[in-house]
């Protein structure tokens, strides 16, 4: 039975470049939607609650597609699933800029989320295969290109909108770039040999995989905390001007991108156990620093430490799952991605609930304690 895409194919430099490109496309496409949100809200004349319900469609779409993407990649090959998801991404992004009613926007977001979910799983299956064939850590570098794509996608669409382009033409330019990159990479993506047995459509997560999924939930929860609550923490608890509230997440993202681009060298030098333990400890320390030192600059430094420490942890856990034997790695990747993605969806609400009952300090403290669980689990996970 095959567990990932074919390892019999050439896995040299062209395949590594193609893998980096699809990670870039996924990050680029996902973030290109962010600058369009205010325009969609204004176009549809809806309130924040209605917008929140519509945005939930994106997450639901991703969660629906993730369990299906792994067996499809085993049956059809990573190339077909990645290209199919990329095509759907290119078709739905302009629809998000044109949707004339809440129902059509919700349907477009559902399809957009399905494209992102399918691409996320299939490209990580490809990345695990390429890394195993290469015999050295590569996963952090691949995820680094996802982060670069995220910064580039949001930046390009924001600049085009600022220059006066309509949302549709801004997304059309983004889609053109994505399509060119996808066409360039497609020929070097891995495909599945027909003689292999793709295995079952679904395997219940078990053993080490379930535990790793819970750790991914914690790490995605920490990332979600930075995305949704760092600006509020700076403005409300540290007195930073609201116009500068987003600086915390910007510095977090820059630190995470820097860490991922250098993560493979770090893992190859000190090993997976030390990287996981030290990274989660660094991320936890960054939150404690932000909580206990009442200085905006120190808080910003703390957020940077969170980004730097957490940068390589999810890619590292994905790599570990690709090597375990408790269940087929392609299905295991889908399982931990689904559990982890639930952390992004449920995390902001959990943090808000804790902050409402106590304070935002206590909510951030809970996240910091959970990151220490990752530290204490590092040896068990990586051995």
174-191: pLDDT as tens digits: 999 999 999 999 988 887
207-382 folds as Growth Hormone; Chain: A; (1.20.1250)
Furthest-apart CA atoms within the chain: distance in Å = 63
22-35: pLDDT as tens digits: 999 999 998 888 78
**What mean pLDDT value characterizes the chain?**
86
Q: Torsions phi, psi of 324, nearest 5?
A: -75, 165
139-173: pLDDT as tens digits: 889 999 998 998 888 888 888 988 999 999 999 99
Helix, strand, coil distribution of the chain in percent, nearest 5: 80, 0, 20
DSSP secondary structure letters along 178-232:
HHHHHHHHHTTS----TTS----S-----HHHHHHHHHHHHHHHHHHHHHHHHHH
Do 322 and 128 contact (CB within 8 A), yes or no? yes
Spatial separation of the C-alpha atoms in residues 298 and 73, rounded to whole Å? 45
Six-digit token string for 184: 């360039």
Report CA Rg, the chain: 20
225-250: pLDDT as tens digits: 887 788 888 888 898 887 677 788 88
Cα angle 240, 244, 249; round to 5: 105
Spatial separation of the C-alpha atoms in residues 92 and 330, rounded to whole Å? 26
356's CB contacts (< 8 A; 6+ apart) are none
Spatial separation of the C-alpha atoms in residues 101 and 225, rounded to whole Å? 30
* Predicted pLDDT at 270: 93
* Predicted pLDDT at 7: 43
Tell me how many helices (H) and strands (E) the chain has. Answer: 15, 0
Better-scored residue on pLDDT, 40 or 193: 40
pLDDT at 76 over 60: yes
Range 229-237 contact pairs with CB under 8 angstroms and sequence separation of 24 or more: 229/348, 229/351, 229/352, 229/355, 229/360, 229/363, 229/364, 230/303, 232/360, 233/290, 233/299, 233/360, 233/364, 234/296, 234/299, 234/300, 236/360, 237/360, 237/361
310-328: pLDDT as tens digits: 999 999 998 888 777 777 7
* Predicted pLDDT at 2: 40
Spatial separation of the C-alpha atoms in residues 67 and 65, rounded to whole Å? 6
First to last CA, the chain: 25
Which of 27, 268, 266 minimizes the C-alpha distance to 131? Answer: 268
* Predicted pLDDT at 330: 75
DSSP secondary structure letters along 291-306:
HH---HHHHHHHHHHH
Report percent pLDDT > 90 for the chain.
45
pLDDT at 378 over 90: yes
pLDDT at 193 over 70: no
Better-scored residue on pLDDT, 6 or 16: 16
Same fold? 13-186, 207-382? yes
Instruction: Give the pTM.
Output: 0.79
Spatial separation of the C-alpha atoms in residues 311 and 262, rounded to whole Å? 10
DSSP, res 259: H
Average confidence (pLDDT) over 54-62: 84
* Predicted pLDDT at 199: 55
pLDDT at 79 over 50: yes
Spatial separation of the C-alpha atoms in residues 204 and 269, rounded to whole Å? 35
The matching CATH number, chosen from 1.20.1250.20, 1.20.1340.10, 3.50.50.60, 3.40.1190.20, for 13-186 is 1.20.1250.20
Report percent pLDDT > 70 for the chain.
92
pLDDT grade for 335, boundaries at 50, 70 and 90? confident
Average confidence (pLDDT) over 212-236: 87
The residue ranges of every structural domain in the chain are 13-186, 207-382
pLDDT at 345 over 60: yes
């Amino acid at each position: 039975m095959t567990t990932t895409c074919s390892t019999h194919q050439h896995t040299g430099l062209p395949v590594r470049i193609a893998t980096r490109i699809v990670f870039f496309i996924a990050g680029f496409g996902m973030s290109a939607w962010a600058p369009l949100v205010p325009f969609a809200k204004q176009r549809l004349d809806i309130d924040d609650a209605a917008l929140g319900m519509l945005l939930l469609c994106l997450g639901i779409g991703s969660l629906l597609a993730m369990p299906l993407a792994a067996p499809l990649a085993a049956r059809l090959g990573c190339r077909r699933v990645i290209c199919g998801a990329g095509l759907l991404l290119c078709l739905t992004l302009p629809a998000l800029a044109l949707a004339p009613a809440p129902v059509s926007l919700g349907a477009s977001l559902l399809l957009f989320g399905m494209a992102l979910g399918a691409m996320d799983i299939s490209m990580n299956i490809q990345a695990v295969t390429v890394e195993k064939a290469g015999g050295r850590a590569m996963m952090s570098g691949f995820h680094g290109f996802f982060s670069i794509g995220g910064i580039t996608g949001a930046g390009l669409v924001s600049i085009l909108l600022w220059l006066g382009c309509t949302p549709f033409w801004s997304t059309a330019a983004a889609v053109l770039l994505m399509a060119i990159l996808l066409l360039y990479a497609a020929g070097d993506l891995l495909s599945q040999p027909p003689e292999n047995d793709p295995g079952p459509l679904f395997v219940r997560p078990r053993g080490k995989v379930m535990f790793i999924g819970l750790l991914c939930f914690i790490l995605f929860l920490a990332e979600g905390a930075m995305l949704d609550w760092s600006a509020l923490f700076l403005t409300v608890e540290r007195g930073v001007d609201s116009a500068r509230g987003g600086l915390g997440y910007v510095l977090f993202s820059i630190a995470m991108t820097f860490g991922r681009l250098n993560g493979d060298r770090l893992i190859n030098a000190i090993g997976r156990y030390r990287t996981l333990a030290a990274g989660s400890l660094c991320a936890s320390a960054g939150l404690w620093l932000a909580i206990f030192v009442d200085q905006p600059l120190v808080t910003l430094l703390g957020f940077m430490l969170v980004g730097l420490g957490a940068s390589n942890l999810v890619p590292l856990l994905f790599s570990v799952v690709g090597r375990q034997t408790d269940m087929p790695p392609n299905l295991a990747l889908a399982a931990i991605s689904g559990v982890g993605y639930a952390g992004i969806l449920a995390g902001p609400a959990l943090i808000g609930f804790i902050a409402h009952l106590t304070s935002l300090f206590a909510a951030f403290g809970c996240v910091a304690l959970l990151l220490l669980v990752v530290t204490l689990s590092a040896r068990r996970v990586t051995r």
